[in-house]
Structure 1
Amino acid sequence: MKLIFAEDLPQSKYDVLSILNKFKNDGTLIGNGSRNIIKFFNLNGLILNFKSFKQHNIINRHVYKFYRKSKAQRSFEYAHLLIKKNYHTPKPIAYIENHDFIGLTSSYYISEQLENSWTFTDILTDHSFPDREKIIKEYTLLMFRLHNDGIQFLDNSPNNFLIQKKDEKYIIYMVDLNRMNFHESIELEKRLKNFARITNDPEIIKIISHEYAQLFGSTADYCEKIILDAVNRLILKRKVKKVLKLYKYIIKI
């Protein structure tokens, strides 16, 4: 077992490990657990979020042991990197990996659970949400800052942003951090394509396009066109994937 804890860990490492031992049967599940399993636990008044990553096939198990950092390790390290650069993400606590002679068998990323927050999905789908347009613009500014720092957040989907309101200000936290690319600089077209997963709602895309155009110094029409093209390509890709999946199922029958 590989255990890496944050240096300023306020609670006992043994307490964290005791939660890990009862992860399967205890804790409060977040989501449906169909892919990764995410649960939170109360540890002496501190709410901790445990993310167990989906088991890999035998090839990837070998790769993640010998050639590539695990998703848990990347999540932990990227969280520290983001915080160092003054971005917001739930405080990283630890990551844990289990191995056998073949490769990685399981891995966990542990962070503080963010209480009293909304997902960006909640805000995008609720047209009556207070300050909805303001929050969309704040999100766009966040993405612009990331792009300027050469950070491409690949899992840029609305459930991966949590929003808290503090002193009349909205703070946006990033989660699900394991998939990021880092560049010296990012050209405008690649920046705009990074919005493909956030929504297919034309109204929201228009707000994002206008705001990003102002921040970058481009035109809103150009930004909107590139984002919409990226969204439509992603929709087509997903449709093709579903058809192929259905075809394989029919063949098996």
Structure 2
Amino acid sequence: MKENFVIHPKYAQIATKLSDALHNFSKNQDYVTKGERNVIKKIKIDGISLNIKKFKTPNRFQSVVYQFLRKSKAKRSFEYASKLIALDIKTPFPVGYLENFSGGLRESFYVSEHIDYDFDFRELIHNPRFKKRNEVLRQFTEFTFQLHENNVNFLDHSPGNTLIVERQKDKYDFYLIDLNRMRFENMTFEKRMHNFRRLWLSKTMVKIIAQQYAELYGKTYVETHALMSKYSRKFQKAKNSKKIRKRRRKS
């Protein structure tokens, strides 16, 4: 089996211990999330709290693609996180990654610093009375605008992928996670509005975000709101229709 282990120079001193932790991942029972596709566990090495994300084992065809034609999700996560930090965009610091190959990619792990966050974007959706909700939304809009100005198209810009930390009273930091689907490209107005569609924004949320984005970008509120609403409603309608079809098939 061929192995590729990469660690950031900042963490070179824990390379051996981290490698051991990755090879003994199955023995670690400190789960952060345990999904059908990916598993995240927490470890502490020399007082440093880290998250290890193990990606789902790809099928036979995909495993060959990941070895010879396309970077693994772990490698992309590490590289994209490094690019974001270079752009002064927050994400849990990329510590390293491990890939195991045997006739294709068999296992891949991504390691990042653990973030003690206060809440994630989902809280703003599920709780319309969330404290300072409108202010958080406005600052989140500024954060997303920063992404777009830096030509970052975060394809998984969805509610669970932004962690929020209250840095000081009424001042918030936003951290992107789940980074393996991202493009670095010129962000036209159309692409910018399209990028909001996965956030499951309510009509009230669209109004607040559109107003703030229009001011930042120099577009009118009317055209910003119209295009953002169009993509949000289209996405939500498609997802809801898919759920209905699934329920019908099961029944």
Which amino acid is the alignment partner of residue 21 of structure 1? Answer: H
2:96 is matched with: 94
1:124–1:132 CA contact under 8 A, matched in 2 = no
Give the SS at the match of 1:105.
strand
| Mapped pair 1:160 → 2:129 | no
Give the SS at the match of 1:90.
coil
Give the alignment of 1:184-203 within 5 angstroms.
Answer: 185-203=186-204
2:175 is matched with: 173
1:41–1:48 CA contact under 8 A, matched in 2 = yes
Percentage of pairs with the same residue: 34
Which amino acid is the alignment partner of residue 57 of structure 2? Answer: Q
User: Quick check: 18-27 or 173-182, which moved more?
Assistant: 18-27
C-alpha distance in 1, partners of 2:67/2:100?
Answer: 9
Alpha-carbon distance, 1:176 to partner: 0.8
Which amino acid is the alignment partner of residue 36 of structure 2? Answer: S
Alpha-carbon distance, 1:127 to partner: 3.2
CA deviations 1:165-223 (Å, max 9, x no partner) are 2233211111111111121x221111101100112311111111111111111122222
C-alpha distance in 1, partners of 2:48/2:110?
Answer: 16
Q: Give the aligned length.
A: 248
2:77 is matched with: 75
C-alpha distance in 2, partners of 1:220/1:116?
Answer: 32
Alpha-carbon distance, 1:123 to partner: 3.5
| Mapped pair 1:42 → 2:44 | yes
1:232 is matched with: 233
CA deviations 1:18-60 (Å, max 9, x no partner) are 2123322324222342221111112232111001111212111
1:51 is matched with: 53
C-alpha distance in 1, partners of 2:94/2:145?
Answer: 24
Which amino acid is the alignment partner of residue 35 of structure 1? Answer: R
C-alpha distance in 2, partners of 1:42/1:225?
Answer: 47
Measured at CA, do residues 203 and 39 of structure 1 come closer, stay the same or move farther in structure 2, by a change above 3 Å?
same
C-alpha distance in 2, partners of 1:76/1:26?
Answer: 22
Give the alignment of 1:141-152 within 5 angstroms.
Answer: 141-152=142-153
Alpha-carbon distance, 1:243 to partner: 5.3
Gaps of 5+ in 1: none
Give the SS at the match of 2:156.
coil
Give the SS at the match of 1:228.
helix
Measured at CA, do residues 244 and 121 of structure 1 come closer, stay the same or move farther in structure 2, by a change above 3 Å?
closer
User: Quick check: 198-207 or 239-248, which moved more?
Assistant: 239-248
- TM-score normalised by length of structure 2: 0.91
2:211 is matched with: 210
C-alpha distance in 2, partners of 1:84/1:16?
Answer: 24
2:62 is matched with: 60
Gaps of 5+ in 2: none
**Match of residue 12, structure 1, among 14, 21, 30:** 14
C-alpha distance in 2, partners of 1:116/1:227?
Answer: 28
C-alpha distance in 2, partners of 1:200/1:164?
Answer: 20
Alpha-carbon distance, 1:232 to partner: 2.2
Alpha-carbon distance, 1:126 to partner: 2.8
Which amino acid is the alignment partner of residue 100 of structure 1? Answer: S
User: Quick check: 115-124 or 204-213, which moved more?
Assistant: 115-124
1:140 is matched with: 141
- TM-score normalised by length of structure 1: 0.91
2:35 is matched with: 33
C-alpha distance in 1, partners of 2:73/2:204?
Answer: 34
1:53–1:108 CA contact under 8 A, matched in 2 = yes
Measured at CA, do residues 200 and 135 of structure 1 come closer, stay the same or move farther in structure 2, by a change above 3 Å?
closer
Alpha-carbon distance, 1:63 to partner: 0.9
